[in-house]
Structure 1
Amino acid sequence: MTTAIDVSRLADLLREAAKAEIMPRFRNLADGDIRQKTSATDLVTEADEAAERFIARECRSLLPGALFVGEESVAADPALLDRLQEADLAVIVDPVDGTANFATGVPLFAVMAAVVSKGETVAGLIYDPLGDDCMLAEQGAGARRRLGSGEEVALKTAGHQPMAEAVGFISYTYFPEAQKTALLPRLAGVKIAANFRCAGQEYRLLASGGSQFSVYSKLMPWDHLPGCLITAEAGGHIAKADGSPYTPNDRDGTLIAACSEETWQAARTALFPEFA
């Protein structure tokens, strides 16, 4: 666990940013407030950019000298992401995870942050602006849900279920075509295979016992570092499909996050037998 970072204050910052810059714009965006980045499903809104500026400004006071890596900052300057490998301390932020949902008025989005120290994720936070609660974890200290009232409750992942009874989230959009073609028929063996278009909300469900596993490719750090630490600290098991650990420097590959190591093994065997 790190004692040098005020994780509770960081949670406050995410909440403040959501109340000031995100929620006033929810279902209240003008046409010019939504723009495409790389495709019709890869969007940025005024809320994303304003919230990231808010969080970056406050983080300069909270963690002076830390590298700030925001999704929208990297969109403007891709070289920023490479600096993460060398940073002694970094804050990684996704100001609105689930922007496509947010932009169309769907109430499934989140604000996420992770703190990386010398190549290890030492803190992770996922704030739900609509539910007004934050899931957070510090390395080695467990995971908890912090309610809007300030009350905190411990998080625990679900028990193992066979794939025929399991709930899983599958984000297959960015899988290579051959891998996607092989994967889709295998999902018939899963009880529920869903996709919220919001990794933050999917990790929240996994870490609190509402699902058994999640599968991702395109491993951008702001999408996965917070949820992976929270899930692991709640009792789950995280690794890439080839068995290697997921690190802040990973960008590609297949990531499996599961409620337990047994479930992780079962998900890999059922969905990616080529790695088993």
Structure 2
Amino acid sequence: MIDERFAAEFLGPVEEAVRRAAAAEIMPRFRALTADEVSEKNGPHDLVTVADRGAEAHLTAALTALLPGSVVVGEEAVAADPDLYTELAGDRPVWIVDPIDGTRTFVRGGEGFCTLVALAHHGELLASWTYAPARDRMATALRGGGARLDGVPLRAGSPADGAPLEIAASYPFHATPATRRALLRLRAEGMRTQGVRIRPCAGSAGLEYVEIARGALDATVFGWENAWDHAAGLLLVAEAGGAHATLAGTPFRLAGGNTLPFVTARDATTTARVRRLLLGEEPGARP
């Protein structure tokens, strides 16, 4: 099994590969997409562009060349071949790639999108890269080696005593009934009286994780488990001192089968509190 010492050798080369992919495939099309360069995968809320496909192809070639024998589990490749997702539970090192996290924002011309890459082996996250090309900001994490944003160490810290708890939560679109009930508890009328403020998740899950890692957001709650949306950010937050848990109280599994929704927060105490809110175990939460 490859480990974090081995993964550390890839921090610089992968950062360069991500920057090159963005420069070649994404930024030339930013605010310059034509109608025929945007299509729907599973409805109007699930868009894909020529930039998504081009960036993923670029990264697939670069990353597998850096680590022979590895495989890329990318959002667009899995859309074409769902069986590829099973590689997350396999024996080969896996690069988990979202070429454009926040495609709808990208299509609208907003800057809130990013490219996500994580390296995992046997279900363990080893390193990650989160790059916001329109803002030229790069966050990296190495298991046991900390998290950084533009080279500056990140510490998530803890919410200030008495301050409202700021949570970004996904809406229960396409959720199972149990997941939907849990997500709706956060929108109960009593939440504000409990010092909890809920806002919708932004268009990019990856950028929400950066906000937690730098202490600008207290927690997120997501109702879906696609590894390419979460892998990079989960390691980033963990290395910044944060924590996460599924609704069942277990760690998030990259290969899927998680009890949703799941919580990521600045510290373990906040993670536990938000989980209790989702379960209806705190005053103000809808039963």
Asked if Structure 1 and Structure 2 have the same fold, meaning a TM-score greater than 0.5 normalized by the shorter chain, the answer is: yes
Cα distance, 1:124–1:13 mapped onto 2, change above 3 Å? same
Residue 235 (structure 2) pairs with residue 229 (structure 1):
yes
Distance (whole Å) between structure 2 residues aligned to residue 43 and residue 269 of structure 1: 34
3-state SS in 1 of match to 2:4: coil
Residue identity opposite 2:107 in structure 1: A
Q: Which residue of structure 1 lines up, in the alignment, with residue 90 of structure 2?
A: 86
Which amino acid in structure 1 is aligned with residue 264 of structure 2? A
- CA distance in 1 between counterparts of 2:176 and 2:106 reads 27
Q: 1:167 to 1:182 in 2, by over 3 A?
A: closer
1:147-194 Cα shifts (integer Å, max 9, x gaps): xxxxx1100103224686122111123433541444422654523523
C-alpha displacement of 1:249: 1.4
Give the equivalent residue in structure 2 for 1:272: 279
The answer for the alignment partner of 1:153 in structure 2 is 152
Is contact 1:162-1:266 (8 Å) kept? no
Aligned partner of 1:176 in structure 2 is 176
Tell me which residue corresponds to 2:166.
Answer: 167
TM-score by length of 1: 0.92
Greater shift after overlay, 167-176 or 60-69? Answer: 167-176
Verify the 8 A CA contact 2:154 2:240 in the aligned structure 1: yes
**Correspondence for 1:3:** 5
Q: How far apart in 1 are the matches of 2:187 and 2:39?
A: 31
Structure 1 residues 198 and 174: CA distance shift in structure 2, 3 A: farther
- Summarize the alignment of residues 194-205 of structure 1 with structure 2, pairs less than 5 Å apart: 194-205=200-211
CA contact (8 A) 1:163 1:267 kept: no
Tell me if the contact between 1:203 and 1:231 (Cα under 8 Å) persists in the aligned partners.
yes
Normalised to the residue count of structure 2, the TM-score between the two structures is 0.88
CA contact (8 A) 1:183 1:272 kept: no
Query: What is the rounded CA distance, in whole Å, between the counterparts of 2:137 and 2:163 in structure 1?
Result: 32
* Cα distance change on mapping 1:162 and 1:257 into 2, 3 Å: farther
- Closer, same or farther in 2 for the Cα pair 1:181/1:166, shift >3 Å? closer
Contact 1:67 1:84 survives alignment (8 Å)? no
State the distance in 2 between where 1:274 and 1:219 align: 24
Match among 117, 126, 130 for residue 130 of structure 2 = 126
Alignment of 1:198-217 (within 5 A): 198-217=204-223
CA contact (8 A) 2:186 2:277 kept: no
Q: How many residues align?
A: 271
Q: CA deviation at 1:197?
A: 1.7
**What CA distance in whole angstroms lies between the structure 1 residues aligned with 2:111 and 2:257?**
28
| Structure 1: gaps (5+ residues) | 147-151
The equivalent residue for 1:239 is 245
Q: Answer whether contact 2:167 2:218 (CA < 8 A) is retained.
A: yes
In the TM superposition, what is the alpha-carbon distance from 1:204 to its structure 2 partner?
Answer: 0.9
Partner of 1:259: 266
8 Å CA contact 1:174, 1:217 repeated in 2: no
Amino acid at match of 1:267: V
Q: Provide the aligned C-alpha RMSD in A.
A: 2.0
Shift of 1:54: 0.5
Amino acid at match of 1:175: A
Are positions 1:50 and 2:57 aligned together?
A: no
Deviates most, 80-89 or 224-233: 80-89
Q: Which runs of 5+ in 2 are unaligned?
A: none
User: Counterpart of 1:91 in 2: which secondary structure?
Assistant: strand
Give distance in 2, aligned partners of 1:86 and 1:274. Answer: 37
User: Quick one: structure 1 residues 163 and 113, their matched pair in 2 at CA, closer, same or farther if it must change by over 3 Å?
Assistant: farther
Using a 3 Å threshold, how does the CA distance of structure 1 residues 110 and 251 change in structure 2: closer, same or farther? farther
